Amino acid sequence: MNNKNLLIPLGIILGGMMAIDMGGPINKAAYVYGTMVLATASELVAGGAQLSDPAVQACYISMASVMVGGMVPPLGIALACIFFPKKFTKAERNSTVSNIVMSCGFITEGAIPFAAADPLHVIPCTLVGAAVAGGMSAAFKCTLMAPHGGIFVFPVVGNAVMYLVSLVVGTVISAVLLGLLKKKVA
């Protein structure tokens, strides 16, 4: 993928996959791919490759795109609840803190109740934000050597500042799209 300049499209796809069904089979397929490439990176390093080898880096870049894409949906929804409260019920707004915590732990499933209640608006909005975050992460060559952890593994994220920028941009995009497209609750 690295030799064909396909890491950015791959990052977009992996990030978006994390937001399609928020913990379902498509999300898990992206996550399993991410963990599989981490195993591939370990095998390459065990076989004598350096951490700076482009093939090894491509593996770590892929996992970074997966994780940032999975963090965007609950964080984007939480941000939308804060800035566009009339678009959400009181019960939904009360889950803002739990969605922030879940996002910080790379738990996408906090977005499921929102997607179930309004799939035609929530899923596309979170998918776009997550795909942008995944693509940006790959474009900035952010790397991740851990298979899980959210913000708790940021110390092992390569290019952590731009990784955070990718997360923020994807989150804001999701929140703004939700604010624009979601209907006000009665």
Q: What is the pLDDT of residues 93-127, one digit of tens each?
A: 999 999 999 999 999 999 999 999 999 999 999 99
If phi > 0 it is left, if psi is from -120 to 50 it is alpha, else beta; for residue 24 that is beta
Query: What is the model's pLDDT at position 10?
Result: 97
Residue reference for tokens 């997966």: 66
Residues of the chain where predicted confidence (pLDDT) is lower than 70: 1-4
Query: What is the model's pLDDT at position 2?
Result: 61
User: Do the Cβ atoms of 8 and 135 come closer than 8 Å?
Assistant: yes
The per-residue pLDDT of the chain, averaged, comes to 95
Query: What is the model's pLDDT at position 82?
Result: 97
Kindly report the number of other CB atoms within 10 A of residue 47's CB atom. Answer: 7
Query: What is the model's pLDDT at position 5?
Result: 79
Question: What span, in angstroms and rounded, lies between the C-alpha atoms of 75 and 81?
Answer: 10
What separation in angstroms does the CA of 90 have from each of 47, 78, 93, 99, 175? 55, 13, 5, 14, 17
Query: What is the model's pLDDT at position 139?
Result: 96
